[in-house]
Amino acid sequence: MNLSQAPDTTAADIPEECRDWLRHVADLLIPASATMPAAGDAGLGDGQLNVVLRARPDLIRDLVRAWSSTNELAPTEALDELQQIDLPAYHAVLLIVAGSYYTTPTVLSLLGYAGQQPRTVRIAEDIDEDLLMRVVERGPRYRQA
Amino acid sequence: MEQADVLIIGAGASGGVAAGALAQAGFDVICLEQGNWPDRADYPAQRGTYELEARKQWSGSPNVRQNPTDYPINDTDSDVAPLMYAGVGGSMTLYAGDWPRLLPSDFRVRSLDGVADDWPLRYADLQPFYERTDVAFGVSGVGGDPAYPEGAEPPLPPLPIGRMGARMARSHDKLGWHWWPAAQAVLSAPYQGRRPCVQFGACMQGCPEGAKASTDLTHWPAAVAKGVRLLTEARVSRILMSGNGLATGAEFVCPDGSWHVVRADVVILAANAVGTPRILLNSASPRYPDGLANSSGLVGRRLMVHPFANVTGYFDDDVEGWRGHVGAKITCFEFYETDTDRGFVRGAKWSLAPTGGPLNAALPTRAGDAVWGAAHHEHVRRHLGRTISWGIFGEDLPDETNRVTVDAALTDSSGIPAPKITYSVSENSRRLLDFHIDRATESLQTAGAYDVAMESLMRYSGWHLLGTARMGTDPRTSVVDQYGRCHDIPNLYIMDGSVFVTSGGVNPTSTIAALALRSTEHLIAARRDQQVPA
């Protein structure tokens, strides 16, 4: 089956060979550091590819085309090739890899990112009234018209 | 066939304000809205994938989003991509909630600075309406800002300015520059049955709490309860005219392809500064070969889009750069007024905004491919939570060659000709942004930034679409009068950003809402004196 031309391809249809290829490419884009895992282990390795593609099914076609056209190349060469001949597919791969990585709870925890959690607003506690008064004392900033 | 006293086209900011006032006055009103009622449960703020969705289905660009209710826009000849949203609440669904007013000088640009044109009204004329719309939408802020004349306090106390706002306030105190907690149409406390902001930091993909004001929350429920008929997924193709030169209603199409007509005694266009000229131009006929209300030739011309730049400071410590409401923590009007020594006229307002979550940190558009490989983690560590950004909104001066036309080939899914935008950034705008970028850099460095990056004239920054059916007193040089009534067709009103004479340098929604209220109340008061063209 030519997946890149199948109109109703879903995340579940992405073959394991494509997932393997993407993990190798991902490790190049986001390698491990002393404190952070590589993207092939975290994110894509944690099954986040399906999460990303369910949220962004429009990326499936570009991903499959990227894999189909470069899977016989080494990951570095594959990325170079995509950047030269198929920029939409290249950007889709970058977004999928980063999207998978930065939606992984382990990664977010390691980063200390605590966004998207509801907080009670503390009204006006962080405004320094003395500084504000000095703005007022400097006088009007507008032109009379 | 439906019939009403007043037909409103578009259920966004101004359509909602107009519907509310007309319903209150007892008018029989129909509104045709091309989109749907928003479903807050569908907003992505609480999903882990929200930053991915923001780049597609929650993009501000209809060309990227491609919802069934969107119309395409040919923007290949434009320096800036127009951003908007179709639905009840309109583009307020995706706006940031930043709620500044125009300043007094904005209404007298010709008199003060010798450029563009004066408005046919002054700040003092609009101030009472600003104050009333602040109450209706639920604005949070601090009164007494010396950037503005004295007036009523905002109805709600300010939202938190956060670590980043506090730091930049200290910086501006050192510099002796203006700063002020930003007026935001985002609730800091429970208000009129709505819940306050919980700081998801994803305002521009819809507010799941309903804390950010949009007319689907603030105006439409009450208007519908008073009998206004709001028809969604109703896409208007043209305004219909009588033989005596009055508008009689509009033709529209539903998703099933069925075509319908609404008749009304008064028609109000509230479809934004791209959609409104599109409809007027698409309404051309042998009697009106240049489109409706276009004897001046200005329908679609003088499109203004605020030139925009981001200046980002990098800090060693965590400033929680991803936290909080997106519109602005604090604002700065230090360099808003003209100083001809700077080499340009007019100025810009600065908004201090969060810098986004981890995907935004990993994929900043200015960083190119250098973010990948061994440097990736250091790149993200530098960005995420440790950056502060000034968003700079500059004034765009009107130019008749910047315009909305009807594309010769492109149509929406109903076959209605789509708009084409031709727009070039002016030399004044470029100089203005260069100056402000330098000053914002100074601001961030004074606050302790060890590095500063900037992104100027971003393509996807066309949030503020203005000026394509300007108001004025002379029918030869303007499309509508100071109350939005078309000079050529006295029962056809325009009540969106199209009517702006100049753009100012501030987010326009507050002014659009105030003008809509003023125009609607004038319409109501003058209704018994309906004129007929000679």
Q: What is the ipTM of this complex?
A: 0.93
Contacts of B148 in chain A (CB under 8 A): 142
Q: Which of B144, B197, B337 sits opposite A136 (nearest CB)?
A: B144
Q: Are B160 and A143 in contact (CB < 8 Å)? A: no
Question: What's the pLDDT at B134?
Answer: 98
CA distance B130 to B84: 23
CA distance A139 to A91: 50
- Number of residues that make up chain A: 145
Question: What's the pLDDT at B369?
Answer: 64
Cβ of B181 under 8 Å from any chain A Cβ?
A: yes
B19 touches B225 (CB < 8 A): no
Instruction: Give the mean pLDDT of chain B.
Output: 96
Q: Are B52 and A103 in contact (CB < 8 Å)? A: yes
Longest Cα–Cα distance of chain A, Å, equals: 73
Cβ of B357 under 8 Å from any chain A Cβ?
A: yes
Q: Which of B52, B159, B369 sits opposite A55 (nearest CB)?
A: B52
- What angle (nearest 5°) sits at the alpha carbon of residue B509, between those of residues B522 and B159? 125
Cβ of A84 under 8 Å from any chain B Cβ?
A: no
What phi, psi does B460 have (nearest 5°)?
A: -90, 65
For residue B90, the one-letter residue type is G
Q: Is the pLDDT of residue A1 over 50?
A: no
CA distance B357 to chain A (A): 7
- Give the residue from chain B lying closest to A128, CA to CA: B166
Cβ of A119 under 8 Å from any chain B Cβ?
A: yes
Q: Are B199 and A56 in contact (CB < 8 Å)? A: no
Q: Which of B103, B357, B363 sits opposite A142 (nearest CB)?
A: B103
Q: Which of B122, B142, B333 sits opposite A145 (nearest CB)?
A: B122
Cβ of A132 under 8 Å from any chain B Cβ?
A: yes
Identify the residue among A28, A56, A142 best suited for mutation to test binding to B, counting B beta carbons within 10 A and taking the highest.
A142
Residue in B79, B62, B61, B73 with CA at minimum distance from that of residue B457: B79
Ranges A3-12, B134-143, B261-270, B405-414: which has the least confidence: A3-12
Contacts of A98 in chain B (CB under 8 A): 359, 362-363
Q: What is the DSSP letter of B292?
A: T
Cβ of A73 under 8 Å from any chain B Cβ?
A: no
Give the list of residues 6+ apart from residue B196 with CB closer than 8 angstroms, or none: A121, B187, B188, B189, B190, B209, B211
Q: Are A124 and B322 in contact (CB < 8 Å)? A: no
Tokens of B235: 């896409």
Q: Which of A52, A126, A143 sits opposite B162 (nearest CB)?
A: A126
Q: How confident is the model at residue A6 (pLDDT cuts 50, 70, 90)?
A: low
Average pLDDT of B115-144?
Answer: 98
Residue for token pair 């209404």: B107
Q: Which of A33, A111, A126 sits opposite B384 (nearest CB)?
A: A111
How many CB contacts within 8 angstroms connect chain A with chain B? 174
Region class of B503: left (phi > 0), else alpha (psi between -120 and 50), else beta: alpha
Residue for token pair 């999928």: A96
CA distance B163 to A127: 10
DSSP 3-state of B196: coil
- Express each pLDDT in B304-357 by its tens digit: 999 999 999 999 999 988 888 999 999 999 999 999 999 999 999 999 999 999
CA distance B21 to B142: 27
Ranges B29-38, B288-297, B453-462: which has the least confidence: B453-462
Cβ of B114 under 8 Å from any chain A Cβ?
A: no
Contacts of A41 in chain B (CB under 8 A): none
Q: Which of B48, B323, B363 sits opposite A98 (nearest CB)?
A: B363
Q: Which of B46, B159, B372 sits opposite A121 (nearest CB)?
A: B159
Question: What's the pLDDT at A125?
Answer: 77
Contacts of B374 in chain A (CB under 8 A): 31
B508 touches B84 (CB < 8 A): no
CA distance B231 to B222: 15
Average pLDDT of B119-127?
Answer: 98
- Express each pLDDT in B453-499 by its tens digit: 999 998 999 999 999 999 999 999 999 999 999 999 999 999 999 99
Tokens of B474: 């002379």
The pTM of this model reads 0.96
Contacts of B337 in chain A (CB under 8 A): 141-143
CA distance A21 to B110: 62
Question: What's the pLDDT at B529?
Answer: 77
Cβ of B180 under 8 Å from any chain A Cβ?
A: yes
Cβ of B202 under 8 Å from any chain A Cβ?
A: yes
Residue in B381, B347, B389 with CA at minimum distance from that of residue B165: B389
What phi, psi does B417 have (nearest 5°)?
A: -55, 135
Q: Are A121 and B52 in contact (CB < 8 Å)? A: no
Residues β-bridged to residue B10: none
Average pLDDT of B374-388?
Answer: 93
CA distance B235 to B23: 22
